[in-house]
Amino acid sequence: MKRSHIVIILIIAVAIGAIMATINDASTYVGFAEANANPKTTYTVIGYLDTDAAMDYDARANRFEFGAVDKEGVRKKVIYHQPKPQDFERSEEITMKGYSTDSAFVAQEILMKCPSKYNETNEMEGYETYN
């Protein structure tokens, strides 16, 4: 075989490996009910901050606990082993990737959708539209 054929085969093998790793890493969007049905399986849950539940950060254990409500209305305690994200209370939507246990949902990653500072009530001063 020529060297160019070997290089092409290696490039194809690396590409297939990268695609397989991406597919295996992709998690499924579910609610807390389905995550509870399959504990220890990684899922992504989209929800909202439960303003009625307490928020607690233990600096010694580096553990942040809060309540969340998924899009189906199911409430669950969430444990996040990182500091509380900045402006967490202002978030409109919380995307949590993690797994469920008997007592809580353990979030490994948290992404927040925060309110836009550019909306009709917060228009920039001096900004004019040109036609």
Per-residue pLDDT of the chain (131 residues; tens, 9 = 90+): 788 888 999 999 999 888 877 665 555 789 999 999 988 888 999 999 998 999 999 989 999 999 999 999 999 999 999 998 888 888 889 999 999 998 999 999 999 887 766 655 555 555 555 54
The CA distance from 56 to 124, in Å, is 36
Class of domain 28-113: mainly beta
The reply to whether the predicted model has a pTM over 0.75 is no
Convert 43-76 into a string of H (helix), E (strand) and C (coil).
EEEEEEECCCCCCEEECCCCEEEEEEEECCCCEE
